[in-house]
Amino acid sequence: MTTFFIIAILALGFLITFQIAKASEYVSVLRGLEKARRQSNRINAFLLLLFLIGGLIGVYFCNESLKGRVLGEAASVQGEEIDLMLKITFYITGIVFFITQIALFWFAYKYQESDKRKPFYYPHNNKLEVIWTVIPALALTVLVGFGLYYWFKITGDAPKEAMQIEITGKQFGWEFRYPGRDKIFGKKYFRNVDPANNNPMGQIWDDAANRDDIWMEQEMHCVVNKPVKLIIGSKDVIHDVGLSHFRLKMDAVPGTPTTMWFTPKYTTKEMKVKENNPDFVYEISCDQMCGKGHTGMRGIIVVETQAEFDRWMAVKKPQYLVAHPDKDPSVKPAATDTTKATAAAVIIEAKGNFAKRKD
Amino acid sequence: MSNDATYHGPSEVVTTHDVHHDEHHVHHHKETFITKYVFSQDHKMIAKQFIVTGIVWAIIGGLFSVLFRLQLGFPNVDFPILETFFGRWAKGGHIQPEFYYALITMHGTVLVFFVLTAGLSGTFANLLIPLQIGARDMASPFLNMLSYWFFFTASIVMVSSLFVQTGPASGGWTSYAPLSALAEASEGSKVGMDLWLVSMALFVVSSLLGGLNYISTILNMRTKGMSMTRLPLTIWALFFTAILGVLSFPVLLSGFILLLFDRHAGTSFYLSDIVVNGHVLDNEGGSAILYQHLFWFLGHPEVYIIILPSMGIVSEVLSVNSRKPIFGYMAMIGSLFAIAILAFLVWAHHMFVTGLNPFLGSFFVLLTLLIAVPSAIKVFNWLTTIWRGNLRLAPSTLFSIGFVSLFISGGLTGIFLGNSTIDIHLHDTMFIVAHFHIVMGVASFFGMFAGVYHWFPKMFGRDINHTLGYIHFWVTMIGAYLIFWPMHYEGLAGMPRRYLDLTPWVSFNKFQTLNEMITIVSIIVFAVQLMFVFNFFYSMFKGRKVTSTNPWGANTLEWTTPINPGHGNWPGEIPEVHRWAYDYGKDGREFVMQTEPIGTNESKDH
C-alpha cells in the first residue's frame, strides 16, 4: 500500500511541477521573453555559485564522515605501499580537482550574461596550451614513475622462504591446499577431480609429492610477518581472490594459474584490537562476478603466530590419507568402519606424528 | 560579399545538389506515413527514431538500476509490489540473486550500447552531420535507414530475452567467459545469453552501417568552402567516434562468434580445465583471458565512443552560449585525435589483475595515464572558453558546465585506476562503479541532454520547456554527485561491485545508511528523468513554436535551414562556407555565421 502512496505522491509532485513550469512559461511570455530569460540567467548563475560552495562543503563533510569507515591501516607490507601510492595520487589529483572545479563554477558565475561586458575574442594562445600540456605531462610522469616502481615491487617474485598455499575458487567457495612437509605441491589434473572419492583437487596420487598435501575449505591460515605466496586457480568460472585489508587481489582463472604474494603484518587477534571489533576477521571476497552465489563467496584468512600455526597444522591430515584410509598408518587395517570415535583417535595420532616430524 | 553569387552559379557541385534536391522535392508529394515516419531515409527523421528508441531504452535501463538499488539500499526489506510485477524473480518481494544479476547485466548493456552509443551518436551524428557540413543527406540514406532498423531488430531481440523462462543474460555487461559460455554455470547463460549475443551482433551491424556512413559523409559531402578545419567540433567528435566504432566493433563481433562456438559447437577458445557442478568438461587448451582481450579491444574504445560525441556537443554549446570562440580549436581537434589513437592502446588496463604479465601491464599504465594529457587540454580549453565570455545559462549551457565538472571529477579518479598499483586494491570495487558512472555515464548523458536542449528547436520546430529543463538539470546534477561521490569511499574500503547484500561481510557492512541514501536519491533522479521525457514529448507537440531560424544566434549551417526543413534540408542551394564555425564576438559583432564571406577590414584570426 505504501508503495502506491509513494507512486501517487510522485505523480502528484510531478503534476504540480509541470503546472508550475507551464505557468512560468505563460508568465514569461506576458512579461516579455527577454526579461524572463535574463532573470532565469541570474538565478542560475547564482545557483552555480551556490553549488560550488555547497559542493565544496559537501566534499569536506563527506570526507569527514566517511574516512573513518574506509579500511584502517593496511595489514600487509604491500598494502602499505599501495596506500602510499593512493595518498600521492590523492594529493596531486586533489589540487587539480579544486583548482579546476572552482575555476569552472566561478567563471560561470562571474561571466554570466551582462550588457556591460563584451565577450573577449580569444581563439587561441599557443603558449598557454603548451603550458597546460606540459604540466599535466610532468605530474603524470611522477605518478607513472612511483606507480611502476611499486607495481614491479609488488608483482615481482616472492621471496624464497615464502609459505606457499594453493587457493582454488569454485561456485561458490574457496578451497586451499598446503604442500605439506616436503613443501612441494603434488601434480594434479582436472579430470581427476572427484569430491565423492575425497579428491576435490584432482590430485594425481601416483605423484609422491601428493602424499603429504593438505586440503581444506573456506578458511586459510598463515603466519604473521612471513611472506605468503598464493597460487591461484579456479575450477569453473573466473573468480577473484580479493583481500581488501591486505589491499590485494588477483583473478582466479580456470586453466591459467596466477600468483600473488604478500607479507601480513598483524595477526587476526591484533587486528581485532586495532579495529576495535571483536568480530573482525580477514575476509576473502570474490571480486569477479561468478554467478548467483557471488555475494556469498566468502573465505577467511587467519593470521597467527608461528606457534599457533604449527599447532593448527599439526592436526591436519593429508588428503592422500583421507582418500586412501587403507594406507593410513594410524588406521588399523582391520578397521573398516570409521566412526567418529576412531576418526578422533586418528587425528590425535596424526598430531603426534606431525609433531615428531617437525623435530 | 557580393562575389558569393558568382561562386555559386556555374559550380558543378551545386548543380548536382540541385538535381538531388529536385528529386526529393518530387518525392515529397508522394510521401506516405510509412515512408515519412517509419522507413524514412531522411537523416533528420532517422535521428528522431534513434532518440525516441534511445529514450525508451533509457527508461528501461534506468528502471533496472532503481530495482537493484532497492536491493542494495534495503537488503532486508520486502517489497510485495515487486512480486506482483516480477513473480518468482522477486519471490516474497525480495529480488532473487539471478534476477539481480540479470538486472545489472541489462542495465549495463542497455545503457552502454543502446542508449549512449545508438541513442547518442545515432541521434546526433544523423541530425548534425548533414546539417552542419552542408549536405542534403547522408552518403547513403538507405544504409542509414538500415542502420536504424538493425538497431531496432537488436532491440526487439534484447527485449525478447527479458521474457524467456531462464531469464536474460546475467553475466555482467562484459559477459566474461567461461561464465557466459557455460549454461551449467548460470541460469542467465542459457538461452538468454544466446539472445544477448544475437542482439549484440545485430547491434554491431547497425553500428558499422551507421559509422561507415558518417565517415564517408564527413569526408566527401562537405559543402563548398567547408574544409576539414572549418568543421564545427561536433562533427570532428562524431567523426572520430565513427572511426573508433568501425575499427573496434568487428573485434567484439569476432569475440562473440568464438563464444557462440564455445557454447554450441564444442570448441575450446575460452575454456580449459573446467569442472562445473561436479561435471568434468572435455575442453582443454583455451584461454578465458582471450575473451577479455577481444572484449576490451572494443570495450575500451567504446567508452570513448560514448564520451566523444558529448565532448563535441559541449564544445559547440559552450562556445555558442559564451558568445566567444572555442579556445584552442586546433588543440581540441588534436586532443580528440590523440584520445582516439590512445583509446586503442589501453584496453588491458581493465585486466591488471587477471594475471597479465606485469611488464606488459606497465606499458598499459603509461599509455592509460597518457590519456590524461589530451583530456586535461580539453578541460583547460573549455574553462578558457567560458572565461571572459558572456554566458547565457540556457539548460544546454548548464548541462555543458555540468559535463565539464563531472568529466573533471571522473577523469581524476581515472588516474587512480589507471595506475596498476592502486588498481590492485580498487579493481572491481565500488570505486570503479563511481568512476565510470561519473565520467562516462552521467557525463555523457549531460552532453546528450545539452544536445537535446540545444537542438530541440531544430529537430521539432518547437521549443522545449526551459523551467522544467532547469529543474531537470539541478536535480540531476546534485543527485549525480550525491549518488556517486560517496560511492568512492565504499570502493576505497574494498567493497566489491556486483554484490547484492553487504550485511554478512565484516569488512563492508559499515555503509548501510549510505547505501539507503544513494538508493533514495537515485529514485528521485530517475523520477526527474521521467519528467524530462514527459517534457520532451509534450514539447514535441505542444511546445512554443520557434519563430526564428537561428534562435541561439549560432554560426553553424544547420541554422541557415528553414525552421522545419524538409528532406534535402535547404529549399534552395546549399550555402557556401567562408569561415570557421566560431567567430563569436569578433570585431565587436555578436556572431558571424559561417556563410558570411570574410570582410575586407576583418581582423586576421581565421
In this structure, the strands spanning A282-286 and B279-280 are unpaired
Looking at the complex, report in whole angstroms how far the Cα of residue B600 sits from the nearest Cα belonging to chain A.
18
- Which residue of chain B has the CA closest to A257? B355
Helix (H, G, I), strand (E, B) or coil at A317: coil
The residue in chain B having the minimum alpha-carbon distance to the alpha carbon of residue A119 is: B389
Name the burial class of residue B512, with classes exposed (0-12), middle (13-18) and buried (19+) by CB atoms within 10 angstroms of its CB: middle
Closest CA to B405 of B431, B379, B430: B379
The predicted model gives A341-348 an average pLDDT of 46
Neighbouring residues of A41: CB distance < 8 A, sequence distance ≥ 6: A112, A113, B391, B392, B393
Mutation for testing the B interface, residue in A199, A253, A298 having most B CBs under 10 Å = A253
Element (H, E) at A303: strand A298-304
CB contact (8 A) between residue A111 and residue B386: yes
- Mapped onto helix, strand or coil, the DSSP state of residue B362 is helix
B559 DSSP assignment: G
The answer to whether A90 and A81 have CB atoms below 8 angstroms apart is no
Confidence grade of residue A331 (pLDDT, cut at 50, 70, 90): low
- Calculate mean pLDDT across residues A144-148: 94
Determine, for residues A281 and B408 on separate chains, whether the beta-carbon distance falls below 8 Å: no
**Interchain contact B85–A (C-beta under 8 A):** no
Nearest of B286, B291, B287, B288 to residue B252 by alpha carbon:
B291
CB contact under 8 A, A147 and B422: yes
Nearest C-alpha in A relative to B397: A108
Q: Nearest-CA distance from A329 to chain B in Å?
A: 31
Q: Which residues sit opposite A299 in a β-bridge? A: A284
Tell me what the pLDDT averaged over chain A comes to: 88
Q: Averaged over B121-149, what is the pLDDT?
A: 96
* Bond prior to B551 in cis (omega within 30° of 0): no
- Do the chains contact at A293 and B97, CB–CB below 8 Å? yes
Lowest mean pLDDT among A20-24, B233-237, B316-320: A20-24
Adjacency order of strands within the sheet including A173-178: A214-217, A173-178, A163-170, A228-234, A258-262
Asked if pLDDT for residue A324 goes beyond 50, the answer is yes
Band of pLDDT at residue B46, cut at 50, 70 and 90:
very high
CA atoms within 13 A on the CB side of B195: 22
Residues of A in contact with B363 (CB under 8 A): none
Q: What is the pLDDT of residue A342?
A: 46
Q: What is the mean pLDDT of residues B247-251?
A: 96
Fill in the amino acid letter for B321: N
C-alpha–C-alpha distance, residues A250 and A285, integer Å = 11
Question: With an 8 Å Cβ cutoff, are A133 and B377 in contact?
Answer: yes
Report pLDDT digits (tens) over B397-456: 999 999 999 999 999 999 999 999 999 999 999 999 999 999 999 999 999 999 999 999
Residues 214..233 of B with a Cβ closer than 8 Å to A: which? none
Q: CB under 8 Å to A21, separation ≥6 — which residues?
A: B465, B467, B468, B471, B535
Query: Which amino acid is present at B369?
Result: L
Task: Determine whether the interchain pair A298/B504 forms a contact, defined as Cβ–Cβ distance below 8 Å.
Answer: yes
What is the rounded CA–CA span in Å between residue A247 and residue A64? 22
CB contact under 8 A, B496 and A242: yes
Contact A264, A256 (CB under 8 A): no
Residue B547 clears pLDDT 70, i.e. is over it: yes
Bridge partners of residue B538, in order along the sequence:
none
Q: What is the reported pLDDT for B28?
A: 52
Looking at residue A335, its pLDDT comes to 46
Q: Tell me, what's the ipTM?
A: 0.91
CA A187 to chain centre: 30
Least confident of B32-36, B49-53, B230-234: B32-36
All residues of chain B having their beta carbon less than 8 Å from the beta carbon of residue A235 are 273-276
Cβ–Cβ below 8 Å for A285 and B392: no
In whole angstroms, give the CA distance from residue B175 to residue B105.
8
pLDDT in tens, A63-91: 999 988 888 889 999 999 999 999 999 99
In chain B, count H helices and then E strands. Answer: 21, 2
At position A167, the amino acid (one-letter code) is: I
Query: Binning pLDDT at 50, 70 and 90, where does residue B605 land?
Result: low
pLDDT exceeds cutoff 80 at A333: no
Angstrom distances, CA of residue A310 to CA of A57, A347, A351, B217 = 53, 15, 10, 73
Chain B positions in Cβ-Cβ contact with residue A119 (cut-off 8 Å): 322-324, 388-390, 584-585
Q: Is the pLDDT of residue B1 over 60?
A: no
Measure the CA angle with vertex A205, ends A204 and A211; round to 5°. 120
pLDDT at A190: 93
pLDDT score for B599: 87
- Compute the distance between CA of residue B388 and CA of residue A118 in angstroms, rounded to an integer: 8
One-letter amino acid at B354 equals T
**Residue A345, pLDDT above cutoff 90:** no
**Secondary structure class of A157 (helix, strand, coil):** coil
Please name the residues in contact with A136: beta carbons below 8 A apart, sequence gap of 6 or more: B372, B373, B376, B377
Q: Which chain A residues are Cβ-neighbours of B361 within 8 angstroms?
A: 151, 155
User: B29 or A94: which carries more pLDDT confidence?
Assistant: A94
The contacts of residue B84 (CB under 8 Å, 6+ apart) are none
**Chain A contact for B328 (CB, 8 A cutoff):** yes
Grid cell for residue B127? 541530425
Q: Tell me the pLDDT band of B29, cut-offs 50, 70 and 90.
A: low
A·B CB contacts under 8 A: 381
Q: Does B286 touch chain A (CB under 8 A)?
A: yes
Q: Is A181 exposed, middle or buried (0-12, 13-18, 19+ CB in 10 A)?
A: middle
Q: What percent of chain B is modeled with pLDDT above 70?
A: 95
Amino acid, single-letter form, for residue B76: N
The predicted structure's pLDDT at residue A68: 85
Helix (H, G, I), strand (E, B) or coil at B421: helix
| Percentage of the residues of chain A whose pLDDT score is greater than 70 | 92
Handedness of CA B246, B247, B252, B257 (dihedral sign): positive
In chain B, the N- to C-terminal Cα span, in Å, equals 16
Which pLDDT does position A34 carry in this prediction?
A: 86
State mean pLDDT over A242-259.
Answer: 95
Q: Which residue of B has its CA nearest to A17?
A: B468
Asked which of B526-530, B558-562, B602-606 is least confident by mean pLDDT, the reply is B602-606
The answer, yes or no, to whether residue B286 has pLDDT greater than 50, is: yes
- Mean pLDDT score of chain B, rounded to an integer? 92
CB nearest B275 (choices: A47, A104, A193): A193
B376 touches chain A (CB under 8 A): yes
B431, closest residue in chain A (CA to CA): A70
Banded pLDDT at A32 (limits 50, 70, 90) = confident
String of DSSP letters for B191-223 = HHHHHHHHHHHHHHHHHHHHHHHHHHHHHH-PP
Q: Which CATH superfamily is domain B3-588 in?
A: Cytochrome c oxidase-like, subunit I domain (1.20.210.10)
User: Which residues on adjacent β-strands are paired with residue B201?
Assistant: none
Domain A163-315, what architecture? Sandwich (2.60)
Q: At what angle do helices B233-264 and B329-343 cross, to 10 degrees?
A: 10
Confidence band for A341, pLDDT divided at 50, 70 and 90? very low
For chain B, the structural domain boundaries read 3-588
Which pLDDT belongs to residue A326?
87
- For A27, the closest chain B residue by CA position comes to B467
| Most confident stretch, A37-51, B72-86, B587-601 | A37-51
Q: So where are chain A's domains?
A: 32-114+125-155, 163-315
Calculate ∠ Cα B422-B423-B425, nearest 5°: 75
Phi-psi region at A22: left, alpha or beta (left = phi > 0; alpha = psi -120 to 50): alpha
- How does strand A239-243 pair with strand A214-217? unpaired
The Cα–Cα gap between B572 and B502 comes to 64
What pLDDT is attached to residue A305? 96
What are the residues whose beta carbons fall under 8 Å from the beta carbon of B140, sequence distance 6 or more?
A: B213, B216
What is the crossing angle of helices B372-386 and A77-110, to 10°? 20
Residue among B284, B376, B505 whose CB faces A136 most closely: B376
Q: Do B177 and B270 contact (CB within 8 A), yes or no?
A: yes
CB contact under 8 A, A108 and B391: yes
Residue A251 phi/psi, 5-degree rounding, is -70, 150
Which has the higher per-residue pLDDT, B486 or B602?
A: B486
The Cα B568–Cα B438 span in angstroms is 38
